[in-house]
Structure 1
């Protein structure tokens, strides 16, 4: 009986340690990560609009470099920047959330500029959403 209890406790401790390590695992550094895909904003939105399941299969949790014209740049209450790329659609675009730690990459960017933004794709709501973004190229 003591052996079984000891084995169960050992397995539980190993499971807890593994869970804590995975939970605290740092995010991949988007700025230095190689892009899995490079695509224009209208093409990316069109792929999600045409076949969301296939687009999710292709882009979800991947680093994507998206080219496009800046539609809006809005800071949020936490100091992050929500940059929206025009995707030739009045209702939708590509929303790129730039964390405050990388806000410097968007320092000289304004509405109307052509940029390339690299981030991790999390799918589509009305807009395609990229998180942990950095502006990698202006012009």
Structure 2
């Protein structure tokens, strides 16, 4: 009986450790990753217009590098709009570095396409050279 209790406690401890390490694994560092895809906003838009479900599965949660022209800036939320179709949320403040109508290249995690607002979403972004 005592052996069964010890085995049960051992199994519970191993299972608890597995759940803990699965739930609290390290976060991705998008800034240090190399981009899986490099494209313009218009190229991305074209792929989604041809087959949105295929394009969404291709780009979802991938590191992308996208270039275009800044349409709008929102300093309070660290967000810019590129080519009026791509919403980019930066990790840090970007105001001193970016102005409206600048041509830029950003790298970040592709979140998806918002059908309601008809815009693409990228977060954890940084400026690329």
Q: Is the 8 A contact 1:73 1:83 kept in 2?
A: yes
Which one of 75, 78, 86 corresponds to residue 83 of structure 2? 86
Return closer, same or farther for 1:30/1:3 CA change in 2, 3 Å cut-off.
same
Q: Is the 8 A contact 1:117 1:134 kept in 2?
A: yes
Give the drift of 1:123.
Answer: 1.2
- Map of 1:132 onto structure 2: 124
Offset from partner CA, 1:103-139 (integer Å, 9 cap, x none): 35x63101100000000111111311111110113xx
TM-score (structure 1 length as normaliser): 0.76
**Aligned pairs for 1:1-139 within 5 A:** 3-76=3-76, 80-86=77-83, 93-100=85-92, 103=93, 107-125=96-114, 126-137=118-129
User: How many angstroms apart in 2 are the aligned matches of 1:45 and 1:5?
Assistant: 60
User: How many angstroms apart in 2 are the aligned matches of 1:6 and 1:123?
Assistant: 48
- Map of 1:90 onto structure 2: none
Q: Is the 8 A contact 1:96 1:131 kept in 2?
A: yes
Q: Is the 8 A contact 1:45 1:94 kept in 2?
A: no
TM-score (structure 2 length as normaliser): 0.81
Secondary structure at the aligned position of 2:30 is classed as: coil
Offset from partner CA, 1:3-56 (integer Å, 9 cap, x none): 555444433333332333233333222222111000001111232233221112
Q: Is the 8 A contact 1:45 1:127 kept in 2?
A: no
Residue ranges of structure 1 left out of the alignment (5+ in a row): 88-92
RMSD: 2.2
Higher Rg of the two aligned structures = 2
